[in-house]
Amino acid sequence: MAGKEVSVLVGGRAGDGINSAGAVIAHFLNHLGYVPYLYFDYPSLIRGGHNFGIIRGSEKPIGVHHDAVDFVLALNQETVFRHRARFHEGTVILFNADVVHADGQGVPVKKILLEEKAPAIMGNSAVIGAFAKAAGIPWDTVNAVFSAHMPKGADLNLRVARRAYDQCSTVLTIPPLGDRRLSLITGNEAIGLGMVAGGLSAYVSYPMTPSSSLLHFLAENAERFGITVVHPENEIAVMLMALGLSYGGQRAAVGTSGGGFCLMTEGLSLAGMAEIPVVLVVSQRTGPSTGLPTYSAQSDLHFILNAGQGEFPRFVVAPADAQEAFFWSAVAMNIAWKYQIPAFILADKTLSEGVYGVDPSKIADVRQDGLLSWDGTEPYRRYADTPSGISPLTFPGTKGAVVKVNSYAHDESGITTEDAGTVVQMTDKRVRKAASLSTEMESYKTVLTEGVPGATTAIACWGSTKGVCSEVAEELGLRTIQPVMMSPFPTGQCTKALAGIRRLIVVEENANGQLAALLRLNGIPHDATVLQYDGRPFTPDTLLSRVRKVIV
């Protein structure tokens, strides 16, 4: 362990309970006062293959894991072989002695399970118990975490864990940092909670990694949140159903990844022309096509910015962590409805499935904004031309109103037209909406900065790379510049944030430098790019060496 830091790797096959084991270890660290972060790595297989999680605890907020680990919990032999490069001279290995041969402390899992009459899936509880003893974690902490987070079969799990705990010895004590307790939450859960805070009424989605867990989370909590959750037959149906719900007055959102969004683009254009509000959660994975279904990327930015035919305003935000995801998801819901436009929450696998330690008291307040509603003056004109470009809303069933929406060029009442002057009028109205949105967003902090204020070299990043870039910038004495809003692009705030910067390095996880291109398009040059596109996120160790090469 280095300073007030600890990293733990747990590995095995799909079906070995790697995710639940990782969550338990994160809660151990949380109880000891550390800020946890979990990264999960797994192939696109239901069973088999190699799954692992890296749980990092730190004294400060983090959003990335390290390459090197202090503890390894090996549920199979492959874990030891595959991750040897992560070991250092002090790495402690705990393993299932029935299937693994390694230097460290072996646990007779089969014997313990047999004697306790426990099912095979509880084998990881034995190895977790061994870890707790090796790390000097008090049994009271183990008992509290198992009871709170594994309530089903907690007593039996605890008996299994206690047997291994008593058989092992303490090797490398993880020192407690205090009694600080944080909420542990995935990025997708934060997005879901943020949308609910912004007034979400209905969520429509077809499962597609890495957005799928958002569907599961909202479905499991639909009654609690007072929302409708629907799983239609495909992504085309998802988009059209969401637009129908929005037309009827329900604040609707959809979730998908790049391949699913491809099928939604015709519906996106319909939303643009018909001015139907909808929120789209697009969580990026490695493409093109099927690509790497369970790995991460930042390669859909320009697709999202330019999807759909014709010209219409859209709102796009790319939060970096769970705390940002909660706030900006609520904002996206409000913006979509206020301006009657599509609003995107652009995530990636690293953010969506990563688990973050969040202090709820530090999350900015969010609200559900009111709408510009029809005042009852007849006749109702769905596309009334206003100075802001925003037309008063009402919904089918409202007395005295016939609510016409139209994918064809139309007049203020929603009647189809091919009149040149009317087409220009309605186009100008939509353009004014975009201008009104840009003006409103100047009151938000849409470009975030960290690091050394007086530094003359900066790293520009977006989305989940913020965590690793912040650590590297701190190590090298640099500044970080993070645009959160990608459309409308905050050129003014970016320019202000870059004041005094003589060298700008853009770091992102794609092959073509998509943020770098967007910066250039808005008149902001850069000096170098550091790109990674193998599906795995940057770590501080790898990014540090690569940035050092380009800052001179």
Strand ordering across the sheet containing 315-317: 228-230, 202-205, 252-256, 278-284, 342-348, 315-317, 485-487
Q: What is the DSSP letter of 378?
A: S
User: Do 377 and 523 fall into the same domain?
Assistant: no
Question: pTM score, two decimals?
Answer: 0.96
Query: Please, which residues bridge with residue 5 across strands?
Result: 58
CA 72 to chain centre: 26
3-state secondary structure of 116: helix
Contacts of 525 by beta carbon, 8 Å cutoff, 6+ apart:
504, 519
Cβ distance 414 to 382 under 8 Å?
yes
Q: How far apart are CA 12 and CA 381, in angstroms?
A: 61
User: Do 268 and 342 fall into the same domain?
Assistant: yes
Outline where 76-229 has alpha helix (H): 77-82, 109-116, 123-134, 139-149, 154-167, 187-197, 212-220, 222-225
Cβ distance 364 to 330 under 8 Å?
no
User: Do 334 and 482 fall into the same domain?
Assistant: no
**Tally of structural domains, the chain:** 4
Range of the domain at 130: 5-167
User: Do 196 and 319 fall into the same domain?
Assistant: yes
Q: Residue 367: inside a domain, yes or no?
A: no
What's the pLDDT tens digit per position in 199-246?
999 999 999 999 999 999 999 999 999 999 999 999 999 999 999 999
User: Do 11 and 106 fall into the same domain?
Assistant: yes
Q: Residue 175: inside a domain, yes or no?
A: no
Residues in the chain, overall count: 552
Last residue of a domain, one of 362, 382, 398: 362
User: Do 390 and 528 fall into the same domain?
Assistant: no
Residue 143 phi/psi, 5-degree rounding, is -60, -45
User: Do 529 and 452 fall into the same domain?
Assistant: yes
What CATH number is associated with residue 122? 3.40.920.10
Q: How far apart are CA 64 and CA 66, in angstroms?
A: 7
User: Do 497 and 546 fall into the same domain?
Assistant: yes
| pLDDT tens across the length of the chain (552 residues) | 666 999 999 999 988 889 999 999 999 999 999 999 999 999 998 777 899 999 999 999 999 999 999 999 999 999 999 999 999 999 999 999 999 999 999 999 999 999 999 998 899 999 999 999 999 999 999 999 999 988 788 899 999 999 999 999 999 999 999 888 899 999 999 999 999 999 999 999 999 999 999 999 999 999 999 999 999 999 999 999 999 999 999 999 999 999 999 999 999 999 999 999 999 999 999 999 999 999 999 999 999 999 999 999 999 999 999 999 999 999 999 999 999 999 999 999 999 999 999 998 888 888 788 888 999 988 999 999 999 999 999 999 999 999 999 999 999 999 999 999 999 999 999 999 999 999 999 999 999 999 999 999 999 999 999 999 999 999 999 999 999 999 999 999 999 999 999 999 999 999 999 999 999 999 999 999 999 999 999 999 999 999 999 997
How far, in Å, are 138, 412, 419, 519 from residue 415 at the CA level? 71, 7, 11, 40
CA 359 to chain centre: 17
Q: Residue 172: inside a domain, yes or no?
A: no
Residue 424 phi/psi, 5-degree rounding, is -65, -45
Last residue of a domain, one of 167, 196, 218: 167
Q: Residue 120: inside a domain, yes or no?
A: yes
User: Do 40 and 137 fall into the same domain?
Assistant: yes
Q: How far apart are CA 28 and CA 259, in angstroms?
A: 38
User: Do 17 and 141 fall into the same domain?
Assistant: yes
3-state secondary structure of 487: strand
High-pLDDT (> 70) share of the chain, %: 99
Q: Residue 92: inside a domain, yes or no?
A: yes
Buried b (16+ CB within 10 A) or exposed e, 310-344: eebbbbbbbbbbbbbbbbbbbbbbbbbbbbbbbbb
Residues 309, 311, 314: CA angle, nearest 5 degrees: 100
User: Do 194 and 324 fall into the same domain?
Assistant: yes
Q: Residue 384: inside a domain, yes or no?
A: yes
Q: How far apart are CA 73 and CA 92, in angstroms?
A: 9
User: Do 356 and 224 fall into the same domain?
Assistant: yes
Contacts of 360 by beta carbon, 8 Å cutoff, 6+ apart:
183
Closest CA to 275 of 102, 182, 407: 407
Q: What is the DSSP letter of 204?
A: E
Last residue of a domain, one of 444, 463, 479: 444
Cβ distance 358 to 183 under 8 Å?
yes
CA 248 to chain centre: 29
